[in-house]
Amino acid sequence: MQNLGSVVLLSGARLVTQLSELIRVRDRDKDGNNSVEREDEAEDCEFVRYFPSFVWVVRDFTLELRVGERPISEDEYLEQVLELKHGHGRKVQNYNGTRLCLRNYFPTRKCFVLPPPLGTEECGRMEELPEAALAPRFLQQAAQFCNYVLSSTRLKTLPDGRALTGRALCMLLQSYVEAINSGHLPCLEGAAAVMMANENAAAVAAALEAYTRGMRGLSLPTEPAQLSAAHGEHLHEALIVFQRRSFRDRDQEHQRRLMEQISTEYSHLQEENDEASRQHCKALLAELAQALHTSLARGAYTQPGGYRAYEAERQRLLEGYRQAEGKGPKAEEVLNEFLAERRAEAEAVLKADNALSEAEKQLEDQKQQAQLLEQRQKATAERERQLEALLEDERNSYAQNLQALEAKMKAEAESAQRELQRAMEAKLREQRELLQRGFREQAALMEQELAALRRESNNNSKQELAAYIFDTVRAACDLISTLKLSKLAKSRGTAV
């Protein structure tokens, strides 16, 4: 579009009058009840929510910015260009068609006029000249245009106000190009849905990677409390990563998938921690028991008084084991297995000690049984504490999930409301101008679009948010209940 004397050519903008034939806001196959006319009206109402601001740059501008004797601004000049004509003839309709679309589809408009950068004689060698040779007024206007674009233009957003990243925008463009090349009409909503699904899947992968990277930095074995604290910390980080990158995960499909994968990863880490603890405790006991094994091999405990020596050495072993740190979650269970395996050994040493009477041997045997029972109870208590801690981890995980979800949904609802408000303000502004200039028929048609936007605003987010939170809470409670029952059943089934 350029300025030629007093004639403004808008032929390049006529494409906007054919939008309903060249592009769709949503797939019409999803709603067979609406007529094509009603769908076109609905889409005309929604284009303003997808379109960016309209910036019109007129190059080689030589006119004076005034109407009659009154100076006007560049923006006022654009409004003069977009002024409608009264009448119903074909020429009037063609004249008004493009202007109506530009006024109707774009929420805001801005104009810049650029004078010729050089004189007529110098235009042929413009690329050879330094920037300082360009007309000062041209440089000043060009700088204002660049500053406006860099500081005032809005990011490309979805209808709910969510800003797109460069990667997401590339996905949208690729969808449009593929649709055009295949002979189909590009669908804004469908392309956005594909982009959001891809981005949400990538958000799940990025969040899971952040969680896994943090958790895999732990040195195993570690105490259950430390593992739990790390889980809570890195789960919070993962949810932040997911919320920052995800787009309108309205049914929480991807967030649920993330939570399931994190839960699986955490279970694997707990199993690895259990196994590392088991191996570490066995190695520690083997090291502490070397003196006991050496004395047994020399027959030091087969002589009178041998049992007392054996029991003293075993107590030193137990004290050393209990004082050792970093044993992990299987400390009591491994010790219980160790003592149970050496029950026959202790009985043999006790029977071989002729210095003890039968009554003393019987008393010592009872002490051994009591010690084994006490250790078995410690192992069982240890297992029950870990099961309760695991349930608490699940509760905390889903509490964090719910908190993140609620914050996300509130932010999206507020953003969507702002976008709706922006669209309504643009429509109201156009409606007022149409009424002031006597275009009552066009203003009445715009009132229908405003009514549709108001209905959507009234029914927008509060009920949806309540439903999402209720579904998530119910799912979390069901999962926790299931976990509790299964783990308690497992605890009873594997009790020592």
CA distance 112 to 65: 11
Residue (of 165, 177, 157, 184) closest to 51 by Cα position: 157
Query: Which alpha helices (H) appear in 51-118, and where do they start and end?
Result: 74-81, 90-105
Give the model's pLDDT for residue 20. 59
> What SS3 class is residue 77?
helix
From start to end of 162-319, where are the E strands?
none
Average pLDDT over residues 197-216: 92
> Which stretch of 82-91, 244-253, 356-365 has the lowest confidence by average pLDDT?
244-253
DSSP symbols for 45-84: HHHHHH---EEEEE-S--S-SEETTEE--HHHHHHHHT--
- Does 17 or 194 have the greater pLDDT score? 194
Give the model's pLDDT for residue 37. 46
Give the model's pLDDT for residue 9. 45
pLDDT band, residue 493 (cuts 50/70/90): very low
DSSP symbols for 150-190: HHTSPPPB-TT-PBPPHHHHHHHHHHHHHHHHTTPPPBHHH
Q: Between β-strands 3-4 and 70-71, what pairing exists: parallel, antiparallel or unpaired?
A: unpaired
> Which stretch of 214-218, 288-292, 382-386, 389-393 has the lowest confidence by average pLDDT?
389-393
pLDDT digits (tens, 9 = 90+) for 325-349: 999 999 999 999 999 998 888 888 8
pLDDT digits (tens, 9 = 90+) for 64-112: 888 888 899 999 898 888 888 888 788 888 788 888 878 777 778 889 9
Average pLDDT over residues 309-323: 91
Average pLDDT over residues 446-454: 74
Give the model's pLDDT for residue 286. 93
- Does 39 or 407 have the greater pLDDT score? 407
Average pLDDT over residues 404-416: 73
Average pLDDT over residues 388-397: 79
pLDDT band, residue 208 (cuts 50/70/90): very high
- Does 35 or 496 have the greater pLDDT score? 35
pLDDT band, residue 450 (cuts 50/70/90): confident
CA distance 99 to 375: 87
Mean pLDDT for all residues in the chain: 78
Q: Which two tokens stand for residue 367?
A: 């002490």
Average pLDDT over residues 385-399: 79
pLDDT band, residue 4 (cuts 50/70/90): very low
Give the model's pLDDT for residue 370. 87
pLDDT digits (tens, 9 = 90+) for 11-40: 555 556 666 566 777 665 544 444 444 455
Domains of the chain and CATH, by start: 3-113 (3.40.50.300), 157-272 (1.20.1000.10), 281-385 (no CATH)
Give the model's pLDDT for residue 13. 58
Facing residues of 8 across strands?
Answer: 3
CA distance 195 to 55: 27
Residue with tokens 């990538």: 202
The residue type found at 394 is: E
Give the model's pLDDT for residue 32. 46
CA distance 240 to 206: 11
Taking the whole predicted model, whether its pTM rises above 0.85 is answered as: no
pLDDT band, residue 488 (cuts 50/70/90): very low
Average pLDDT over residues 141-170: 81
Instruction: Give Dmax (Cα) for the chain.
Output: 129
Give the model's pLDDT for residue 120. 60
Q: What angle do CA 433, 414, 45 make, to 5 degrees?
A: 35
pLDDT band, residue 474 (cuts 50/70/90): low
Q: Which two tokens stand for residue 401?
A: 């999930």
